[in-house]
C-alpha cells in the first residue's frame, strides 16, 4: 500500500507543472542550440522539472516508511499567496522597495513577530540582490522607489 508523503506530492506537482509548461512551450519555435528560438529555454526547463518530479516520485516509492503528509497550514499558504499578489500589485505602482517589503512582511508574518531583525535582513538582502540583477544588470523597467 502506498502512503502519500510530502515528497510524493511534491514530485507530482513538479511533474504536472513541467508537463503543462512543456505543452505551452511547444507552441513556440524551438530553434537549435546555436540559434535558440523562444521555445528552446522553456522546453529545456520543463524537461528538467519533469525529470526532477519523476526522480522525487521514484525515490519516495523506494522508501519503506514515508512520512505521512501533515495537516495543511492554510494560514501560512494564504499569507504566502497574499504576499505574491501584493508584490504584483505594488511593483509598478510603488517600486521595488515597497513591493519587496510587502512580499517579505506578508509572507513572513508569523516569523516577523518572533524574529523581526531576521525578516528585516532577509528583506534588505533580497531587495538589493533583485534590484541589482533585474534593474541594473538586466535593465527591466522597474523603479527602486
> What is the rounded average pLDDT of the residues 19-41?
86
Of the residues 24, 40, 62, the one at which a domain ends:
62
Give the integer Cα–Cα distance in Å for 126 and 116: 15
Q: What is the pLDDT of residues 76-126, one digit of tens each?
A: 878 888 999 999 999 889 988 899 999 999 988 888 889 999 999 999 999
The values of phi and psi at residue 39, to 5°, are -95, -10
CA quadruple 85, 91, 97, 98: dihedral sign: negative
Instruction: Give the 3-state secondary structure of residue 115.
Output: coil
> What is the rounded average pLDDT of the residues 57-65?
80
Number of structural domains found in the chain: 2
The values of phi and psi at residue 108, to 5°, are -105, 30
* Residue 143 placed within a domain: no
According to DSSP, residue 31 is labeled B
Give the range of the structural domain holding residue 99, as residue numbers without chain letter. 74-137
Looking at residue 3, what is its pLDDT? Answer: 57
How large a percentage of the chain has pLDDT more than 90?
Answer: 37
> Residue 136 pLDDT more than 90?
no
78 & 40 share domain: no
Confidence of residue 66 (pLDDT cuts 50, 70, 90): low
55 & 23 share domain: yes
* Residue 95 placed within a domain: yes
Of the residues 20, 40, 62, the one at which a domain ends:
62
Give the integer Cα–Cα distance in Å for 19 and 50: 7
> What is the rounded average pLDDT of the residues 21-49?
87
57 & 90 share domain: no
Amino acid at each position: 500500500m502506498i502512503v502519500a508523503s510530502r515528497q510524493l506530492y511534491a514530485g507530482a506537482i513538479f511533474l504536472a507543472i513541467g508537463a503543462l509548461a512543456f505543452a505551452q512551450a511547444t507552441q513556440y519555435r524551438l530553434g537549435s542550440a546555436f540559434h535558440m528560438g523562444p521555445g528552446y529555454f522553456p522546453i529545456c526547463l520543463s524537461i528538467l522539472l519533469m525529470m526532477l518530479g519523476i526522480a522525487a516520485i521514484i525515490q519516495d516509492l523506494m522508501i519503506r516508511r514515508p512520512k505521512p503528509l501533515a495537516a495543511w497550514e492554510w494560514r501560512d499558504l494564504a499569507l504566502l499567496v497574499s504576499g505574491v499578489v501584493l508584490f504584483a500589485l505594488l511593483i509598478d505602482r510603488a517600486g521595488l522597495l515597497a513591493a519587496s517589503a510587502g512580499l517579505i512582511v506578508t509572507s513572513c508574518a508569523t516569523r516577523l513577530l518572533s524574529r523581526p531583525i531576521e525578516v528585516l535582513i532577509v528583506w534588505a538582502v533580497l531587495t538589493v540582490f533583485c534590484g541589482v540583477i533585474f534593474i541594473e544588470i538586466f535593465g527591466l523597467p522597474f523603479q527602486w522607489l
